[in-house]
Amino acid sequence: MSMPIAFYICLTLILFIFSGTDGYFYHRLAQCRYSSKDLHGMEHIDSYVFNKAEYVRFNSTVGRFVGYTEHGLKNAEAWNSDAGILGQEQAELERFCKHNADIYYSAIRDKTVEPHVRLSSVTPPSGRHPAMLMCSAYDFYPKQIRVTWLRDGREVKSDVTSTEELANGDWYYQIHSHLEYTPKAIVGNGVRV
């Protein structure tokens, strides 16, 4: 290795060793926020972040950029005075947010998956009745579901315990419901999911 190359490599290594910064991090986060299927009140938020600190943000509801640091205030002032940049950011609400929200609703939110239901007899914890039935509903979507125990065609409300809907972590849910009963009274029992 020649002397000048070795010198520059050593100098570079020394600068890295004594440098106080391990690196810089910049990212830009575009968000589409809405809470109703008709997309009324949807807003587009475009955030600029440097080293974990948001320094400027565009919000379609406000209709302009807002700066949060000295650098962000300068950017906001420059970008707010440029009608082309403001128009492009405002257009993202229609072009990006509303367009993709329609796709998401038709591909995900409007879909339903019927549960897989399993009915089993389990050992009850110490209780008033010597027997217990458990109804488990697995892998359903969306979250809303109702499990109803029936006796002779009528809804049973006493001696019933149920879990909340539990997320599986893969967009599907499960729920478990228990009915305590006395074996002689089992005739006519049923469950509706």
The verdict on 92 and 150 lying in the same domain is no
pLDDT at position 97: 93
Does residue 1 lie within any of the structural domains?
no
Domains identified in the chain, total number: 2
Output the domain CATH number for residue 176.
Answer: 2.60.40.10
pTM of the model: 0.55
Does residue 96 sit in the same domain as residue 141?
A: no
| β-bridge pairing 116-122 and 166-167 | unpaired
- Residue 45 lies inside a defined structural domain of this protein: yes
pLDDT recorded at residue 153: 84
13 assigned to some structural domain: no
Residue with tokens 């809470």, as numbered in its chain: 35
- According to DSSP, the residues that pair with 26 across neighbouring strands are 50
> Last residue of some domain: 74, 109, 144?
109
Is 184 in the same domain as 169?
yes
pLDDT of residue 31: 95
Q: Is residue 72 part of a domain?
A: yes
Verify that 94 and 120 share a domain, yes or no.
no
Q: What is the pLDDT along the chain (193 residues), one digit of tens a residue?
A: 455 565 556 556 555 556 566 678 899 999 999 888 788 889 999 999 999 999 999 999 999 999 999 999 999 999 999 999 999 999 999 999 999 988 888 887 778 899 999 999 888 887 777 888 899 999 999 888 999 998 888 898 888 888 899 999 888 999 999 988 887 755 566 677 7
Q: Which domain holds residue 168?
A: 116-192
105 and 69 belong to one structural domain: yes
With CA atoms as reference, report the closest residue to 71 among 63, 82, 60, 79. Answer: 79
Is 14 within a domain? Answer: no
For residues 61 and 32, give the distance between their C-alpha atoms in angstroms, rounded to a whole number.
11
Whose tokens are 């089993």? That residue is 120
| Cα atoms in the Cβ-side hemisphere of radius 13 Å centred on 86 | 14
